[in-house]
Structure 1
Amino acid sequence: MDFTEIYKHSFNLVSFSPGAHFLLAAVQDRLIVRRSDSFQITKTWLVDSSPSPTNATLSTAQRSLPSSNGWITHAAWSYDSEYIFAACARRGVVHVFQIHDQDWNARIDAGAEGLMKVEWAPDGRTLLCFSEWGLRVTVWSLVTGASTYIQFPIHPDKGFTFRSDGRYFILAERHKSKDTLGLYDTSDSFKLVRHFPLPTSSLSSFALSPTDNHLAVWEGNLEYKLHIITLAGKVLASFTPDPEPALGVRHVAWHPSGAFLAVSGWDDRIYILDSMSWSPVVTLEISSRVPAGVTLWREPSNWQESTDGRGFLSYDKIRTPYTISITKPDHTKPNPKSGATQLEWNKTGTVLLVRFENIPNAVHLFQFPSSEESFNPKLRSVLLHSQNVLHCRWNPVRPGSMIICCGNRGIYSWSDEWQNPSGEQEEVAECIGVPAKQFDTRDVHWAPDGKGLVLLDKEKFCCAFEVEEGMTI
């Protein structure tokens, strides 16, 4: 793996373009675009950090504002890589730039409702601006310059999605103290198509199935209730474990085929529901005992010192059965450290990745059979680390490839794509040193083509690329 030089960033705002040809980074009040093959700067914009008129009026009482208030807080590519927005949420301003026209730009000023979050619509020509306090979503068209307002979203950071074809915008709303769902036609200026009540009293969030046929909606942390509804508002099923846990649903993940739904709470169980009966077909449980037959990988001790942050080193393979330590949660305190903090399928749905909060240094991988095999999901592998796992990311293209970071000078990879001399596929788990004296990898993101990585420290970043045989970078 080949690493680039180290560059600066602010607020972790670093991302590859959807085509993986460019790399965007925000540094305080400046946007920088580099080519992903040479990392030469191709575009740069200095963002006007002056507040919107409303923001300036409201902040007159504050005699001195910190300079960081004018920094970029949100930045992202449009889905066709033609436009970039840069938002200064504290100033209530959104700037839009065109990648192929340095002189073209647009500016959106938020009103008295403030600005909390900005998102691109799938058409790449529409911006969604979420206000503070859940007052409204403002939909801005870059083509017409017109705006549309949708009132009372429940959550500005979740509780909304687009259908996979981008035709409909689905938003969880709260009207007259009741949870509702709005369906809006993106091809007709986000005109309301359908509005119906939800079977929840305090919606936590929802997830749209990959087939766009079903929505899984669930209650807040105090009730373990999940409902399956159609986009017409019909409730197909409801699920509550028996006996019901003390706290509610924490994570929900649809299988890529839409045939299964993984549900986890604040306990040590994961329920796999099938789309035929919407009832559990298997329950996966955490255990301190790793049974025989499960592959157990452990990070070698002091490997970073021995390699000086360079090269690869395999995990130690531990014989099973084996006992790992589990932290006992204190359920008398709010937000106990228990349950799954991450629940995510790989691209093909053959492996379910789970991270439990009471085993923060471990990654559990559960094997799921293909449609041709008998249905018998089971624990496949466990990866143990000397430090707590911060992030774990599946490769967006290759289903058998994963990357992990733990906030130190290395990254960790797992793959089941390695072929041994006899031609059989084997698991490989490796520690990869980052060749920098002061760089702690706090987050990591794949490039859309699955060939590169962005490694993020608090104020620095670098990229890493796999080097193929005969290839020169």
Structure 2
Amino acid sequence: MNFSEVFKLSSQLCRFSPDGKCLASGVQYRLVVRDVNTLQILQLFTCLDQIQHIEWSSDSLFILCAMYKRGIVQVWSLEQPDWHCKIDEGSAGLVASCWSPDGRHILNTTEFHLRITVWSLCTKSVSYIKYPKACQQGIAFTKDGRYMALAERRDCKDYISLFVCSDWQLLRHFDTETQDLAGTEWAPNGCVLAVWDSCLEYKVLLYSLDGRLLSTYCAYEWSLGIKSIAWSPSSQFLAIGSYDEKVRILNHVTWKKITEFEHPVNIASPKIIVYKEVEKSPAVEVEKLTFPPTKKMASSLFSTKSKYEIAQVPVSLHHVKPAVDRANPRIGVGMLAFSSDNCFLATRNDNIPNAIWIWDVQKMKLFVILEQLCPIQLFQWDPRQSRLAICTGNSRVYLWSPAGCVSVQVPVEGDFQVTSLCWHSSGDSLALLSKDNFCMCYLEKEEEDVK
């Protein structure tokens, strides 16, 4: 495993291009585009204000930079660096901006979610979509880029509008049986749209492309409901993480529950492997100590090494007591993701913040638990194989595969705490992000993870 030098970064704005050839990063009001292999700067663009959001077009030819405070979006071209586009929403303001799947239209959401403006880079035409709902996942595109689902709120009722992305014509418009719609997500095959209610009511609705309600799922009533949702890459399973600390798996044939996964604090079964991260300080021979210590000796004196050990069951996992009298309590399954090959599901129960649970999807049972020393900030699957990268806000990156798991110290001088990460599309490298910097981590192809 090799690491690059450290580069400056603002607001964790670091994105690989879809074709995997470039890496864009935001540094204050500058957009820096680097070659992925050499990390040499290919283009340097200067924006009108501090960049708050960057996004590549689907064909990797354009980059969108949004400056929400100013209500401005600037678009830059890699093929023609002299060309650029500026979109000013004026007094309407700007709270969100994204590309359409064709990479030639930009969707801007104005303040107070009054409307969405669709700007065409080709014809310079403008279209307006009214009544977008203010929710976390209000816009969803199918994977093939043909259709867009938009959550709407009008007359105190929730609706879904389906648009054809090629000409922005309305395909279907229907109301949903939700009290307060919280999000929408297409199945990867683009045939089914999942719509779910706010956490105050447990309800998942599944719609077909023609607007028919295929099924409604409700696990329980009169308690906090859904916290997270994830489709399997095959579209066969829908995983629903809830505030009751369980994940329920629905199948794509009947949309009924196949099984549910629990996240108990105490692990008693000897069949479950629990990898526990432990820190050990290196042994220093007292006779060889000098004063003042050499630089090498000083670093070894204060450095700690981390590794995984298999814990003896029964194991009691570290947990926190949630403040149930406050909004958004730290309880329930807040993170879940299927591996790209559909073999595993990784979950985190927010009141057991240091543990990742990895489930075998084929056998529908728990495969392994990893318990870290620090709370998990983020985990992400390798886009090509069953390999999970984890960061916990310290100077290490962790990798798990069915062969085992490994803890790697990021060999960077100074304070580099990995708070986020993202995989390159090849699965051969990772971008590791701290608050103000980023570096690349290169994995050797034949490298096998070991305990």
Question: SS of the counterpart of 2:82?
Answer: strand
Name the SS of the counterpart of 2:166 in structure 1: helix
Q: Look up the SS of the partner of 2:399 in the other structure.
A: strand
Q: 1:302 to 1:409 in 2, by over 3 A?
A: farther
1:210 CA drift (Å): 1.7
Q: Work out whether 1:28 is the aligned partner of 2:28.
A: yes
Give the CA deviation at 1:211: 2.1
Structure 1 letter corresponding to 2:65: A
Q: Does 1:348 align with 2:341?
A: yes
| Residue matched to 2:94 | 115
Aligned-CA RMSD value? 2.0
AA matched with 2:165? T
**CA apart distance, 1:352:** 0.8
TM-score in terms of structure 1 length: 0.87
- Counterpart code for 2:33: V
Aligned: 1:412 with 2:389:
no
Matches within 5 A, 1:113-262: 113-155=92-134, 157-188=136-167, 190-242=168-220, 244=221, 246-262=223-239
Deviations 1:312-357 (A, max 9, x none): 9641122333222433334333222110110111112211110011
CA distance in 1, matches of 2:302, 2:440: 19
Q: CA deviation at 1:75?
A: 1.1
How many Å separate the matches in 2 of 1:198 and 1:166?
Answer: 23
Residue aligning to 1:322: 315
Does residue 394 (structure 1) correspond to residue 394 (structure 2)? The answer is no
Structure 1 CA distance for aligned equivalents of residues 123 and 131 of structure 2: 25
Q: Any conservation in 1 of the 2:279–2:306 contact (CA below 8 Å)?
A: no
Q: Percent identity?
A: 34
* 2:264 aligned residue (287, 300, 319): 287
1:227 Cα shift? 1.5
Q: Distance in 1 between matches of 2:281 and 2:389?
A: 18
1:432 matches 2:408 = yes
Give the whole-Å Cα distance in 1 for the aligned partners of 2:61 and 2:151.
29
Number of residue pairs aligned between Structure 1 and Structure 2 = 429
Match of 1:94 in 2: 73
- 1:265-304 equivalent positions in 2, closer than 5 A: 265-290=242-267, 291-302=269-280
- Identify the match of residue 458 of structure 1 among 429, 435, 449: 435
Name the CA distance, whole Å, in 1 between partners of 2:281 and 2:443.
Answer: 21
Displaced runs of 4 or more, over 3 A: 302-310, 467-470
Change (3 A) 1:303 1:195: farther
Q: 1:239-279 deviations in whole A, cap 9, x for unaligned?
A: 1124x351121111112222221112111111111122222
Q: 1:89 to 1:330 in 2, by over 3 A?
A: closer
Quick one: distance in 2 between partners of 1:308 and 1:277? 58
Q: What SS does the corresponding residue of 1:112 show, helix, strand or coil? A: helix
Instruction: Please list the CA deviations of residues 383-420 of structure 1 after superposition, one character each: whole Å capped at 9, or x if unmatched.
Output: 1111111001111111x11111011111111012xxxx
Unaligned runs of 5+ residues in structure 2 are: 283-298
Q: Higher mean Cα deviation, 219-228 or 357-366?
A: 219-228
CA positional deviation for 1:302: 3.9
Letter matched to residue 222 of structure 1: L
Secondary structure, aligned partner of 1:408: coil
Amino acid paired to 1:199? E
Distance 2:159 2:171 in 1: 13
Consecutive unaligned residues of structure 1, counting only runs of 5 or more, are 50-69, 370-375, 417-426
Aligned pair in 2 of structure 1 residues 157, 214: CA closer, same or farther (>3 Å)?
A: same
CA contact (8 A) 1:293 1:320 kept: no
- Counterpart residue number, 1:58: none
Taking the aligned partners of 1:262 and 1:205, their CA distance within structure 2 comes to: 14
Q: For the residues of structure 2 that align with 1:309 and 1:404, how far apart are their CA atoms?
A: 21
How far, CA to CA, are the matches of 1:163 and 1:218 in structure 2?
A: 17
**C-alpha distance in 1 between matches for 2:395 and 2:364:** 35
Cα pair 1:205 1:218 within 8 Å, conserved: yes
Structure 1: distance between partners of 2:33 and 2:307: 35
| Partner Cα separation in structure 2 for residue 329 and residue 401 of structure 1 | 31
**Contact kept? 1:131, 1:156, Cα under 8 Å:** no
CA distance in 2, matches of 1:469, 1:224: 45
**Aligned residue number for residue 424 of structure 1:** none
Q: Distance in 2 between matches of 1:449 and 1:307?
A: 38
Distance 1:24 1:77, change over 3 A: same
